Structures are given as structure tokens and as C-alpha cells.
Structure 1
């Protein structure tokens, strides 16, 4: 196997060199918000989340309507609580001041309220955070469903009726966008709240503030966080709060999901890596299996939730990132996430089968109208065909070699068979 990639040391050195070049460019163009966004992206690729946040905030300061930076900023803010107290306070104080000003100048951009809510939440100001989320939701509903505002009741907390629990690269973004176009489904303030997987705040009211306070019972609401499916103990947490909630899971051909996940991860990684599977004809399956075993033994996901172990977790991620010159290490995590049978039984141990709808991603891709009709029926809603089913993620990746595809097919076959036996259902992924 010949994979042309820089050594781990060179990867970091070249990234830092690029950061230095961009920083020099800001001296020439100090008002260029996109330069600061690019620097933030590079720091994010190095897992230096503090610096990434600092540069994202600077980009927003220069260009408040640079909307593309708000979502990555909101995602990274969940890590700020793991910074030193001094750095944390500085980031949060600066961010809150900046976002409060931006909201004044961007009244038609509800997501700014969401980011401000995240900043307040990390500061421990939960009441202010809840107020921000409700303001964002109010603006969303007022814009899309103005007639419903008469049913808005700030003293009412609306519980979610459904959750889309997975999975990455299985079409959840498109699926959720179709769902919320139904006239009886109201969106959460953001598609992925990530409360049960990566949030460190344990407050039911805080979670519920992400949903519209509409008292009218003819409407449903919910969110779609595709990593809920893989996190340990999430099923029990959801059951504790919402015992009657309906869950939707999309499953895709595990080979296609793993390859798509590989390319998505590299898209957001260092551009010097620029990895491709074009020239890979064979994986060292023993190394892949060892890496998967390491993931499960180390408890990568559970570490993510334990604030006292965050530094070790980040160090672990950085070490894995440095090892990514070995394609077997990098693709293993994406293969692991495609071993659906390893995660599914936990959900059925907690929830009755009547509360979990499993959809085949390929059906959504090829016949979205029929698939959505099935989802609406599951939720107790009448069908609502759309005039257009637009693909929310149109990324295309080069095909892998036939030999690699066959090797992966052979690897996944027993797991797929076990899944089909468990569900008494055929997926026809061979």
C-alpha cells in the first residue's frame, strides 16, 4: 500500500506554517473576515479549539453577516468549559458582548440567538440561555408560521415528540429538512441539539427551551442528532425523560456510509492531508480490527461525556490525528460506526419496537416521497408530498477500487447478516 502523505510532524509543521502565512496576510488585509475564518478552520484541524473560537469570533466581529462561521462556532463552544478558567471567562465575555451587538444588527438571523444562548450556557447563566433559545424559536415560527404565534405561550414547555437518532452520512440532514416542511411539524432551534451526547448541562428545562412554546396540540416537534445512536447510555437518558417518544433511525449500506464518513472527516481536516482512497486496493483488516477494539476498550465516546477526563480525551484524539498517515487507523473509526448491530440492541432493550422506526437510506435517496409517507404515518400524521426533495448534502466522492469494495463487502457481510437476523428484515446491501 502506497499512500503519499506527509509524516505526522510535517503535517503539524505545514499547518502551522500556513497559519503563519494567513496571520501575515491579516496585516495586509486586517478587515478580511474570511482570513480569520480560515485561520480558525486550521486551528480546528489541529484540535486547538480555543484558538479556533478566538478567530471565529474575530471573523464575526469584522463581518456580522458571515453566516457560515456561526455553526462551527456554536459547535466548538461546547468545548470551552474545558479551558482554563481565565481563558474560558475571556472567551465567553468577549463572545457574549459581540453576539449581543450582532443581534441588534441582524434581527432576521435567529441562529445568532442560538449562539448567544450557548455562550450563556457555558457561563452558567442557564436562564439567559433559555431565553435566547426561546427568542430564536419565536423568530423562526413567526417567520415560517405567523398564524401560530397566537398559540405561543412562554410559560409552556413543549416536549419533543420524536428524535432522529442516527446515523451520520445516512441522509439525516435531508430527512429532517423534509420532515419540518410538513405543516404539522415545527422545528427545533437547530437540527442537532446534541444534548444527550456531548452537552455537559444536566437540566431538562434547558433542553426543552430549544423547542417552540406552542401550546396547540395538533403540532409535533423534534430534533435530529445523528450521534445519539452510538453514545452509551443515551437510550436510558431519553427513556427517563420521554418514555413515549418516537425514534427514527436511518441506516445506509455500511460500505457507502464508511467511505462517505472518511471523506467528510478529511474535508474538515488539514488540507495538507488531502487523503484519498483512489489508490488503496487493500486494507490490513487485522490492524483495522485492532483499532476498532481499541476504540471500544478505551471508551472513546464515554470519555467525551466526562469533564474530568477531557484533557486525556483531547490528547488521545491528537495522537490519533497524528497517526492518520496509516490509512488503516483512520478508516477504522468509520468502519466501526457502520457496525450497526453493535449499537442497535441497546435501543431495543430500552424502547419497545413500536417506538423505533428504522428506515433504509437508499429508499430515502431513490424514493423520498414513499419514505416520508412512512415516516409521517409512524408519527401519526397525514402524508404531505413535497414538490421537490432537494438533497441537503450533495458531496460526491471518487469511487473506491473494486478490490477494496469487495474486501469491505466481505468484512461487513457477517455483521449485516446478524443485523438482518436481529430485525427479521432484508436490507439487500450485498
Structure 2
């Protein structure tokens, strides 16, 4: 080998700032006819850095497999509700907490037909809120209550630590009434509409149908009586208020709030004005965020006014949507004289309710 060739091989330069070693081939007694001048020797010159890199790689692989495990475990728990599997990787759950079903930390307990579904959907815009899919009816139905708290917990959605789970069952507010009327048909339950709140929620399209029995072959079938209007159901023929009419009875809110205040302190309950929720949802939701201890995240960017429907619809980062057609609907016209009479009737009851909640909601009495 010529001296110049040898000098060229010995002059191989190691790139700066790299932990790899470049050597002249002559140092390894390379064959003469190999055209390459230098070879790369695989090795590490900084053991601590190598250890750090290996640690990062192993932790990344560990977390990846853990995420796959969590997904499979949650899917399995959903299918085996009665016998959920306990976690296997206890250490990993400390490093990477998994979602689980938790008992609700807040409950929307009433009242019917006053915007409970709308309120729940609005709160669900908050990233730290999870909601039950439907009305659970745990506390007001013996058949559900007897299944125990574990059954109740399994009706809740998966949530992460720090998130708040909320369920809503409006009939909780009138629990004793609901427990004595479970034989009502679904149609009968649908017409239990509170008529308070400034007389804005009256219905006059109620239909009553007799229970069908076995028809006699000897007697002709009796004709179905014409449906009664709201006015006929709310008032007696002499014009006095039918206080036993259920939609009126469950609208005397102070009768039911008394029972709740015997169990829960006032500061654990938040009264939301349904009328303001319709007119200015953001202000009411900010009030609820503070009550629940949540960071303020819901704002005007989450709503837009639908001119066709006449109320606010919801908006998030990915889509816009309104509640289904049965929500936010305009209520039928009621005889103004009946409305005035009912407002006077509820005036005294509303004042008692204001005293209990410590707030005048401003429902008109005339």
C-alpha cells in the first residue's frame, strides 16, 4: 500500500457531536482491494445517555401496551357488568389513570318539562363533565333501588379522575308522588307537565283514553268520550281550581322542596331559573360551573340562535346541533282568563317557594 493511500485511510474524520466511532480500515487490516476508506464501528461512547434513551423507549412501549390493555379491559367490563374484572397492572394505573364508572357527583332532580334535558346537554359541552345516557330512576323506583349502589354505579358512563358525572331524573323532585303512581301508563306519565313558571308551560293537547277491557259480544261498544281540554281538567265546572289535577299539584314546588331541605343543606342545592336558561343560557351555565367547582369553559361560542326553532342550539369544536323536535317546542294557546286565574292561584305558593330558595324568580301573578 502506498504511503499516500495509507495516510488517506488514517485521515478519516469522526463527525462532531456523534457518539459513534469512525476508524480507518487499515486499523482492522482490511483487504487491499476494498474501495471504501472508512468503516463504522457500532458502539456507544456515552453509557449514561444510552441508558436514558433505552429508558425512554421502554417507557413508551410500556404506556402503549397499557393503553391497549385499558381499552380491552373497559370493553370487557361493559360486556360483563355483573362481574367486572379488577385491574391487573396496578403500578401502571398510577402512572396512567384509566377511566372507570363512578357514582354521580351531581344530580339534576327536576322538574319535569322545565328544561332538564337541555340543561344536561348544555353542561355536557364542558370537557370535565360526563353524563348518564338516560334517566336512571334509582331513588324513586323500588325495583331499581333494591339492586343496590353497584347497579346504580354501572349505569354511569366511564369518566377520568377529576371529571364530574351527572345524571338527571326529574321525578326525583316529587319522589313520594312518583312512588305511588307507578301503574300509570307511559301516556299518562307524558301528560304530567308542571304548569307553574309564569304560566308559560300549559298544555291543552292532552288526550285521555279509557283502559281497554274484554268487549262483550252482547253489548255494543261504547263510544270513546271526546278528549278534555286543559281548561276542563284544570278547573271545575264552577270555575274553581282543581288542586288535585296532577300537573297543578306537582307545580306547588314548596311542598316538595321542604322535604329535600330536611335532608340536604341549602348550600348543596342550586336552583336554576328555567326561563333565564332559555333566554340567556351562558349566564346560567357559568353560575352552575362555579357551583360545581369547574373551570369556566362554556361560553357564547357554544351557542347559536336558531331562528326557525326560536331557541338556542348547541355548538362544539366539531359540530352544531339542536335538541330533538319535542324539546323547546312552542306550547299551545290557553284561554287567557284561565292563565290569569292560575297565576293568582300560584302567587301565594310561589312566594313561599321564593322564601325557601332565597331568591325571587319574578314569575308574574297577573
TM-score interval (norm. to shorter): 0.5 to 0.7
Provide the residue aligned with 1:288 in structure 2. Answer: 242
Provide the residue aligned with 1:198 in structure 2. Answer: 141
* 8 Å Cα contact 2:97-2:161 kept in structure 1: no
* 8 Å Cα contact 1:165-1:225 kept in structure 2: yes
1:374-400 per-position Cα deviation (integer Å, ceiling 9, x unaligned): 111111112212133426303223221
With over 3 angstroms needed to count, the CA separation of the structure-2 counterparts of 1:267 and 1:177, relative to structure 1, is farther
How far off its partner does 1:220 sit?
0.8
With over 3 angstroms needed to count, the CA separation of the structure-2 counterparts of 1:233 and 1:275, relative to structure 1, is closer
Out of 207, 212, 225, the position equivalent to 2:152 is 207
Q: Distance in 1 between matches of 2:177 and 2:98?
A: 34
* 8 Å Cα contact 1:161-1:221 kept in structure 2: yes
Provide the residue aligned with 1:158 in structure 2. Answer: 102
Q: Distance in 1 between matches of 2:161 and 2:210?
A: 44
Out of 354, 363, 383, the position equivalent to 2:276 is 363
* 8 Å Cα contact 2:234-2:248 kept in structure 1: no
Q: Distance in 2 between matches of 1:193 and 1:273?
A: 35
Provide the residue aligned with 1:404 in structure 2. Answer: 338
* 8 Å Cα contact 2:234-2:242 kept in structure 1: no
Q: Which has the higher helix share?
A: 1
* 8 Å Cα contact 2:137-2:169 kept in structure 1: yes
Q: Distance in 2 between matches of 1:281 and 1:229?
A: 22
- The correspondence of residues 25-64 of structure 1 with structure 2, limited to 5 A, is none
Q: Distance in 1 between matches of 2:287 and 2:195?
A: 15
How far off its partner does 1:272 sit?
8.3
Out of 130, 133, 155, the position equivalent to 1:186 is 130
Greater relative contact order (CA < 8 Å, ≥ 6 in sequence): 1
Q: Are residues 1:415 and 2:353 paired?
A: no
1:233-273 per-position Cα deviation (integer Å, ceiling 9, x unaligned): 99xxxxxxxxxxxxxxx99606334x24x64x649999986
Q: TM-score, with normalisation over the residues of structure 1?
A: 0.46
RMSD: 3.7
How far off its partner does 1:186 sit?
1.1
1:253-303 per-position Cα deviation (integer Å, ceiling 9, x unaligned): 06334x24x64x6499999865544789964565713xx2xxxxxxxxxxx
Which shows bigger deviation, 369-378 or 265-274? 265-274
How far off its partner does 1:344 sit?
0.3
How far off its partner does 1:129 sit?
5.3
Unaligned runs of 5+ in 1: 1-112, 118-126, 135-149, 235-249, 293-331
Out of 286, 294, 303, the position equivalent to 1:387 is 303
- The correspondence of residues 318-357 of structure 1 with structure 2, limited to 5 A, is 332-357=245-270
1:36-59 per-position Cα deviation (integer Å, ceiling 9, x unaligned): xxxxxxxxxxxxxxxxxxxxxxxx
Instruction: Tell me the SS of whatever aligns to 1:429.
Output: coil
Instruction: Tell me the SS of whatever aligns to 1:166.
Output: coil
Equivalent pairs counted in the alignment come to 227
Instruction: Tell me the SS of whatever aligns to 2:278.
Output: helix
* 8 Å Cα contact 1:165-1:228 kept in structure 2: yes
Q: Are residues 1:231 and 2:175 paired?
A: yes
* 8 Å Cα contact 1:187-1:222 kept in structure 2: yes
Q: TM-score, with normalisation over the residues of structure 2?
A: 0.54
* 8 Å Cα contact 2:130-2:165 kept in structure 1: yes
Q: Are residues 1:175 and 2:105 paired?
A: no
Q: Distance in 1 between matches of 2:242 and 2:279?
A: 32
Q: Distance in 2 between matches of 1:128 and 1:269?
A: 43
Instruction: Tell me the SS of whatever aligns to 1:221.
Output: strand
How far off its partner does 1:217 sit?
2.0
